[in-house]
Amino acid sequence: MRSTLHLPCLLVPLVALLVLLPGCNALSAPRFTKIPVDQIGVSGGVVSFMCQATGDPKPRVTWNKKGKKVNSQRIETIEFDEGAGAVLRIQPLRAPRDENIYECVANNSEGEVTVTAKLSIIREDLLPMGFPNIDMSPQLKVVERTRTATMLCVASGNPDPEITWFKDFLPIDPSASNGRIKQLRSGALQIENAEETDQGKYECVASNVEGVRYSAPANLYVRVRRVPPRFSIMPTSHEIMPGGSVNITCVAVGSPMPYVKWMLNAEDLTPEDEMPVGRNVLELSGVHESANYTCVAISSLGIIEAVAQIIVKSLPKPPGTPVVTETTPTSVTITWDSGNPDPVSYYIIQYRAKSPDSKFETVDGITTTRYSIGGLYPNTEYEIRVSAFNTIGQGPPSNPVEARTGEQAPASPPRNIQARIISQNTVMIRWEEPEEPNGQIKGYRVYYTVDPSQPMSAWQIHNVQDSVITTVQSLTPSKTYTIRVLAFTSVGDGPFSDAIQVKVLLGVPGQPAKFQVGKVSDTSIELTWEPAYDKEGIVSYELLYKEGKFGSQMKKTFGPSSSYTVEGLRANTEYSFSLAAVSNRGIGAFTSEVVQKTSQARPSAPPQDVKCASPSPSSTSLLVSWHPPPAESQNGALAGYVVHYQVAGEEDGAEAMEKPAVPPTSGEVLLQELEKWTQYRVTVAAFTSKGPGPESQPILCRTDEDVPGAPPRRVEVEVINSTAIQVSWRSLLPERQHGQIRGYQVHYVRVENGESRGLPRIKDVMLADAQWEMDDTAEYEMIIGGLQPETTYSITVAAYTTKGDGARSKPKLVVTRGAVPGPPSLSVTREMGTVAVVRWRPPEASGPGLEVQGYRLQFGRKDVTPLATLEFTAQEQEYTVSNVHRGATYVFKISAKSRSGFGEEARQELTVPEEAPKGYPQLSEGSNATCCSLQLSWQPPMLAERNGAITEYTLAYKEAGSAASPAN
């Protein structure tokens, strides 16, 4: 590569140079910013040389070959940077024609610079081993604008080639894209937020020291979506009140997004320079006129419109005055004119009786202009008006119309009928008008008879016109008459009054008036009345009453009064009462019977036959059943039952749990969520609306057994030897036993590397009924044999009831001891009187780890502890014991030792024959002496000198200084 420099500014004379220096500072000759590099291409392939320069004025770059401007169909110059840069591209390469030195020339008015680059070409079949190869070329790709496009390229070579990218024959500089274009570590080109300018032809170039290779080109197309505008939210029409406000929303979408504006007729409501994109909300306030508002969406692909109608509503006008077309005793039919040009939703009728304190009643939802108002009172004048209702609300009412309903027979009888004897055969009767005459009362009919069981048609009738008092003559003296009165109108007769009785006997009181029930309790009923008029005066009253229809009649007599309370009655029981007044002339007529039931009371007896199902349904529930209290003790309609229960044995102050009210039709309840295998104290009480009655006698019920709720406690494992272990534990706490513990299961399994090997084995400890203890003090143990030496075992313990076994204890890991030898062969013989010789031989069976390393000998008198212990080497097999005691039995035990410890013991006893004691007893120094006796004590001979079991002692004594032989 070679470069030359020409500077015309330096050739002017020195004086001119001084003048021109300021101008030279402003201008500059060309200078290369990017220079081409030598390249090695493959025959038939592609190479590109890039060259770029800077200067002032901006230089122009051209490419020459051998001093002449390149000119060929295969050689192309692509300019960039306004001609200040140029890429020389040769495709396809031809050897040796294209092998040459190429010159890049940059010149401006201030000078010219040249830089050269060499091109070498290698045939495909002569390429070196490491020449770059394109393993995967980029492929044609279509991407939507603003999405991400990735152009893949995979190349290989030795050394690993460097990958660069060209677009439309110009190199791509990712650093100039502000991070939008990236070249990934894999060599792929990633283009984010794709733009239309990214569309073009892309090439991947792999280069290393061996040469350069271009991939096949691939086109990237950037697709721009073009969607005409459409409304996604259409403007909606509204009906509003005068002066009201409303917001109309219009939303349009498309690609490109359209502008949205509002128009009223030809007037733009949205300024052109403030038109929003996509969404426009028209806010209207104080609207008094209906109008159509147009939403317009505009984009380069079209213009669309949608209209929203704003209707200003008003309340409807009053309908025309109603016209009465028909009346009946209980209804009025009216018609009316709508009075509204616009349709209404429905009509509302308001009506009321014409009286100062009456209020309008309303009928709405009427969709016709004719309606019959029913449920009216007969012979009553009404005021009626109509109003219309639309979507805005209810309009003003029409002018009212007045209408009177037709007459009807009286709906109620005459009131407060009274009768009084005024002569031997004449009675005066008076009454009050009916409460509901239903028209103009034309008169009354008085019915009377001495036999009230006859039909009314057989009674005698006395008609009365325009009066509420009359006399009936020609009655039979001393007879009791029953009287009933009715009123009638022009339409017909009303109902009969209640019957009253009167005795045709001068001076006898009349029937008490308004005989009725006052206060009522569960044990008493108050009766009230108004005394009848009597000249002679009432001296007492006689009250007859009975329980139910068939009870015995009882009588109460009491002084003049206007009320009386009957006490001592049964609760919730029906009684009938009849009253008569008594004067000095005799007893008057009894009133008609008044029937009244006493109030309910609490039940006076508990439910019967309370019991629990056995066994219980589950370990946490009890099924309690019962029968209702006796009928005579229920004192009313049973409203239900309440069940109380608590754990038996709890303190008296402990609050019992209560089951929510059980319906009266049910005779059982399931108590749930109880403690397992626990005894409960259960009571049941019935209740009425007045409250609960007494509780039943408590019964004791126990929930069923379940599996134990906890493992045994304090589980301990102790190794006994190489094949046996001892497991011990304590019983469960009583509240976790959940039943009678029938036994325990000890599970053990071999463990290797923290995992179980083989199936677990189970040892069972069954408990008899007598062995089971409810408390937690019981202790148990078990010896498990037949195990493998030097092996890890996992031991768990579980208790079980008749329902199954419970939770196991936490595993205890234990390692058995190593294998130990069996018992040696042992023999013991006595030699020379007091010498014993102990001889032994190694155990018979031996194996790995059972090699004998020594022996341990324990020996001594059987009746003396502890035994003496000696240890011997593996080679020693005999020991001599001297000075054995005569008459004694000796014990000898020997065991062999291996690396795991001492093994089983061999045991043998040796009994030495007895001889006469060799020693003598030891007399105590102290003695008790009297005048004629001497008490002595002594110790037996030393153990070694006894020579056997002492059977008796011989005592010899003589006087001191006496020569006589001692006495025995």
Per-residue pLDDT of 646-695, as tens digits, reads 888 776 666 778 888 889 888 899 998 888 888 899 999 999 988 899 99
DSSP reduced 3-state for 14: helix
Which among 494-498, 504-508, 952-956, 963-967 has the top mean pLDDT?
494-498
Buried b (16+ CB within 10 A) or exposed e, 716-726: ebeeebbbebe
Nearest to 521 by CA among 581, 409, 601: 601
pLDDT confidence of residue 740: 83
Question: In the 3-class helix/strand/coil scheme, how is 193-210 assigned residue by residue?
Answer: CCCHHHCEEEEEEEEECC
Strand partners, 470: 429
Residue 779 has pLDDT above 90, yes or no: no
Tokens of 391: 């979507």
pLDDT confidence of residue 19: 34
Q: 894 and 856 in contact (C-beta within 8 Å)?
A: yes
Rounded to an integer, the average pLDDT of 557-580 is 92
The amino acid sitting at 200 is G
Rounded to an integer, the average pLDDT of 618-633 is 91
How do strand 39-42 and strand 111-122 relate by DSSP bridges?
Answer: parallel
The amino acid sitting at 698 is P
Rounded to an integer, the average pLDDT of 533-562 is 87
pLDDT digits (tens, 9 = 90+) for 713-728: 899 999 888 888 899 9
Alpha carbon distance 575, 548 (integer Å): 5
CA atoms within 13 A on the CB side of 691: 5
Residue 5 has pLDDT above 80, yes or no: no
Rounded to an integer, the average pLDDT of 233-257 is 90
pLDDT confidence of residue 20: 37
Give 605's pLDDT tier (boundaries 50, 70, 90).
Answer: very high
Alpha carbon distance 894, 898 (integer Å): 14
How do strand 332-335 and strand 323-327 relate by DSSP bridges?
Answer: antiparallel
The amino acid sitting at 807 is A
Alpha carbon distance 499, 450 (integer Å): 12
Q: 662 and 626 in contact (C-beta within 8 Å)?
A: no
Alpha carbon distance 811, 796 (integer Å): 5
Nearest to 619 by CA among 684, 682, 708, 745: 708
Alpha carbon distance 707, 620 (integer Å): 12
DSSP reduced 3-state for 736: helix
Q: Helix %, strand %, coil % for the chain, to 5?
A: 5, 50, 45
Element spanning 913, H or E: none
Give 180's pLDDT tier (boundaries 50, 70, 90).
Answer: very high
> Residues 530, 534, 539, 544: is their CA dihedral positive or negative?
negative
The DSSP symbol for 17 reads H
Rounded to an integer, the average pLDDT of 414-421 is 89
275-282 CB contacts, 8 Å cutoff, 24+ apart: 278/251, 278/252, 278/253, 279/233, 279/249, 279/250, 279/251, 279/252, 280/249, 280/250, 281/247, 281/248, 281/249, 281/250, 282/235, 282/247, 282/248, 282/250
Rounded to an integer, the average pLDDT of 607-616 is 90
Alpha carbon distance 444, 434 (integer Å): 11
DSSP reduced 3-state for 744: strand
Specify the higher pLDDT residue, 389 or 848.
Answer: 389
Q: 362 and 333 in contact (C-beta within 8 Å)?
A: no
Tokens of 300: 């380069």
Q: 626 and 667 in contact (C-beta within 8 Å)?
A: yes
Rounded to an integer, the average pLDDT of 298-324 is 91
pLDDT confidence of residue 21: 39
| Overall residue count recorded for the chain in this entry | 968
The amino acid sitting at 65 is K
Ranges 330-334, 737-741, 766-770: which has the least confidence:
766-770
Q: Cα 383 vs. chain centroid, distance in angstroms?
A: 61
pLDDT confidence of residue 535: 61
Element spanning 501, H or E: strand 500-503
Nearest to 259 by CA among 271, 242, 248: 271
Alpha carbon distance 559, 942 (integer Å): 123
Tokens of 876: 């020693």
pLDDT confidence of residue 652: 61
pLDDT confidence of residue 846: 62
Alpha carbon distance 62, 84 (integer Å): 9
Residue 24 has pLDDT above 50, yes or no: no
Give 746's pLDDT tier (boundaries 50, 70, 90).
Answer: very high
Q: What is the CA radius of gyration of the chain?
A: 65
Residue 441 has pLDDT above 80, yes or no: yes
Tokens of 366: 């009427």
Backbone angles phi, psi at 14, to 5 degrees: -65, -45
Specify the higher pLDDT residue, 393 or 685.
Answer: 685
Question: In the 3-class helix/strand/coil scheme, how is 233-256 assigned residue by residue?
Answer: ECCCCEEECCCEEEEEEEEEEEEC
Buried b (16+ CB within 10 A) or exposed e, 935-968: eeeeeebeeeebbeeeeeeeeeeeeeeeeeeeee
Alpha carbon distance 737, 675 (integer Å): 11
C-alpha distances in angstroms, 310 versus 168, 237, 551? 59, 6, 82
Q: What is the rounded average pLDDT for all residues in the chain?
A: 87
